[in-house]
Amino acid sequence: MQTPCPFCNLPAERLVLESEWVMALRDSFPVLPGHTLIIPRSHVQSFFEASPEEVGEMLQLLREAREGLQSELDPDGFNIGINDGEAAGQTVLHFHLHLIPRFAGDVPEPRGGIRWIFPDKADYWSGRDE
């Protein structure tokens, strides 16, 4: 038996933004306050299956979500990420984009950003591996 998709039947009160093709909500397991997901309404597993309309509206909602978070939380930066495929860490097999507000001091060394998925390759600037 297949588990129902958690993004296909979201209650309207969970949404913080929405458009014809796309919706946005706060992550149920946020890594930091304001962690937001941008999700196409249609059930597609991969970014590469999303229609041009969905991708365009996702980018528009991404901008709107960022503006809202900037106003609400005043973060110092953002990480934007997609886990596309199980090998890339995708656990919910309905394409979604993460918008994560970042704050000065939230980790000891933020340089390298998403490169930290491979910690031994993240620090390319210090020369300690040479």
Task: Quickly tell me which residue has 């980790």 as its tokens.
Answer: 107
As a residue count, the chain comes to 130
Going by their DSSP bridges, the two strands 77-81 and 36-40 should be labelled as unpaired
Residue 72 gets the label, from left (phi > 0), alpha (psi -120 to 50) or beta, of alpha
Active-site annotation holds for 98: no
Catalytic residue among 35, 43, 94, 96: 96
The kind and range of the H/E element at 75 are: none
| 45/42 Cα distance (integer angstroms) | 9
The kind and range of the H/E element at 26 are: strand 22-26
Cβ atoms 43, 93 nearer than 8 A: no
The residues carrying an active-site annotation are 96
